[in-house]
Structure 1
Amino acid sequence: MQIKKKKLIVTFLMSFLIVLTACSSGETNATLPEKVNIGYLRVPNDEMIAKSQAYFEKYYEDKGIETNFIVFDSGVEANQAFASGSVDFASMGHTNGVVALSRGIPVELIWLHEILGETEGLAVREGAGISSLQDLKGKKIATTFASTSHYSLLQILKEERIEDQVELLDMQTVDIVAAWERGDIDAAYTWQPSLGALLDKGNILISSKEISEMGHQTANIVLARKAFTEEYPELTVDFIAGLVEGGDFYRGNPEEATVISADALGITPEEATIQMEGSLWLTPKEEISSDYIGTSEQVGGFSKVMKESSDFLQGQGLIPKSPSQEEFDTFINPEFVEMYLERED
């Protein structure tokens, strides 16, 4: 009896140590998800390169996790997917991040893809008689509501004091291109590659780079489902690592990166070059600088950009209530970029 008791005690202790070891590792194969759902936009950025080069699979497949990509035409669609719990990460313009927070969707901002510049702009149709912003009066202008393009357009219309003298039409990018081809609209504020499709019959009147210089910064961001990031912090860091590899590839091999992006988007390398050079891509260290998302100890300046955008959107009646600055400070979570940098050290 005594020997049997000792054996039982030893067996119990060994089992306890195995469980303890598994718990200490955080995410074990037994607890990992079957797949990671990644929503992306058809824009040439770090995510597009990472997707094309299979960088995400590099981190997930060895763990037995499928990488499932879902293309969204806008952040509106991405937020709908987040609300239903059908996506873990998704890209969108920062204004749709504002919408997500204002609606109480359980997500957080974990990465800035790029600070937008010439990759977004206001195209005007040839023959529409538009050579200045004041000429927009009485014209039909299409954009995707609640997007960064919509935000930038509203800012310049307000600056020119003509916001009540134009007809704004809410369209997805594919519909903007179709309406342009039919001649149904006079102008459109949209992003690449849709913007490039309009230039055969028009030209750019003003870009988001110029609007940013006026003090109205816009960016494409990554939101993550909080239930996922809380349960799988290391898998979230893996996602960040894939984005970093995409950005590093572009910085180290710009010509090859433009060809990869062009192939993925069905555009020419020349068009891809214009689009990729028309925005600012951030390194991980730049991400957590005081100008952008900041650190766990010090909130970055992008939180104020989000708040200013939010107040503007509320003033336009696009969201019912603007979240507080403190809510935006909490909404932006630099923890996973910091964990990535610690991992690399």
Structure 2
Amino acid sequence: MVRNLLENPMTTKSPHASAPSRRTVVAAASAVFAGLIALTGCGAGSPSSSGTTAAEDDKAGANLEKVSIGLIPITDVAPVYLGVQEGYFEEEGLELDVQLAQGGAAIVPAVMTGDYQFGYSNVVSLLVAQDKGLPITVVSNGSTSTNEPGSDTTEVAAMPDSGIGNAADLVGKTVAVNALNNFADITIRNSIEEAGGDPSGVKFVEMPYPNMPAAIERGDVDAAWTTEPFRTQILQAGGKIVASPMTDMAENFDSAFYFTSKQTLEQNPELVERFRRALEKSFDFAMENEDKVRTIIQDYAKVTPELAESIVMSKWYKEVNMDALTKLGTAAKKYDVLKKDPDYNALIAK
């Protein structure tokens, strides 16, 4: 019984409630991720209607190990919620305590301090964390691109009168991204170069995803790197897709990973393996039951039924695509987001 996920409101746990001995780690991690996305719309799960009494629920829950995980309320984390709903985590003896963060900035330091045992983050933020010396380790893939240019979960959108038709046309334009010197501008620069343009001529401005649809309509920016459900909101307002940086970078491009601290992996490898098994079952279920994905995101991500039917879904493959990861790491160093080459073997848990 995952009471905190399915019965109680989900709240954002402060990533700074750490032991004094870990304050240095928290401060360093917070500085690294200060520029990450700040999403709005944290929501609670719907009350469970299991038909059991509170006493029965408490008795069942007493046999489960509570595990905390930091998530962002976006569509890509739907498999976790489905895994709870279908009992995959309970089968592994785990009770998930989901903590919703307003953005990814709080999740990495919270995992480092032990406030969360697991977290979800975009790949570049984890590469940056490793580059800064933080002891993180990836335990599972998170979400993967669709391989369909113009129909991917995260793309660059613009209005029809913007004068932008492809990635090369972004040169000389202002493009909104959720975080500077991170996942968005790295992949956009790569797409511009592949299209024969000079990426140094693009002006990137930082903006939360929820603000992008209105900003494009007002003309505050010429284009935006946007993800679901905001991507579809822009299209429904008359916008168009002008670039697909993830599919340009690599086939089956992984955009995010689930991760933990090296301390958790070393001290409790059996817990990590149980979590990974439950997550992989959840991935399989999500891939085979798109209708259930579209239903559950209406709850935790507060997506309307109409929007839920229209958005593009990620793919959820269990294996990390090392070729795509290497290409992203190479680009991150090329564009000075990383100071040194990533240690991929150290990053990915075996």
TM-score, normalization: structure 1?
0.69
The match for 1:28 is none
The match for 1:36 is 67
Q: Distance in 2 between matches of 1:35 and 1:314?
A: 38
Q: Is the 8 A contact 1:126 1:202 kept in 2?
A: yes
Task: Give the secondary-structure state (helix, strand or coil) at the position aligned to 2:187.
Answer: helix
**1:93 positional shift:** 1.8
Higher mean displacement: 49-58 or 314-323: 49-58
Q: Distance in 1 between matches of 2:177 and 2:336?
A: 16
Q: Distance in 1 between matches of 2:64 and 2:83?
A: 23
Larger Rg: 1
Q: Distance in 1 between matches of 2:141 and 2:315?
A: 10
Task: Give the secondary-structure state (helix, strand or coil) at the position aligned to 2:315.
Answer: strand
Q: Distance in 2 between matches of 1:273 and 1:209?
A: 23
**1:309 positional shift:** 2.1
1:211 maps to a residue whose letter is D
Q: Percent identity?
A: 23
**1:268 positional shift:** 4.4
2:187 maps to a residue whose letter is S
Q: Is the 8 A contact 1:88 1:228 kept in 2?
A: yes
How do 1:1-345 residues align onto structure 2 when only pairs under 5 Å count?
A: 35-45=66-76, 47-51=77-81, 54-55=84-85, 59=89, 67-117=96-146, 118-144=152-178, 145-159=180-194, 160-177=196-213, 179-180=215-216, 182-199=218-235, 200-208=237-245, 210-212=247-249, 217-269=253-305, 271-272=307-308, 275=311, 277=313, 279-283=314-318, 287=319, 292=320, 302-323=321-342, 327-334=343-350
TM-score, normalization: structure 2?
0.69
1:167 maps to a residue whose letter is K
Q: Is the 8 A contact 1:95 1:146 kept in 2?
A: no
Identify unmatched segments of 5+ residues in structure 2.
1-62, 147-151
Task: Give the secondary-structure state (helix, strand or coil) at the position aligned to 2:224.
Answer: strand
Higher mean displacement: 139-148 or 70-79: 70-79
Identify unmatched segments of 5+ residues in structure 1.
1-31, 293-301, 335-345
1:53–1:310 Cα change, 3 Å: closer
Task: Give the secondary-structure state (helix, strand or coil) at the position aligned to 1:281.
Answer: coil
Q: Is the 8 A contact 1:121 1:189 kept in 2?
A: yes
2:210 maps to a residue whose letter is V
1:134-183 CA deviation, whole Å, 9 max, x = no partner?
Answer: 33232110112344333321211222322122211122323434533543
1:49 maps to a residue whose letter is P
1:212–1:319 Cα change, 3 Å: closer
CA RMSD of aligned residues (A): 3.2
Aligned residues: 280
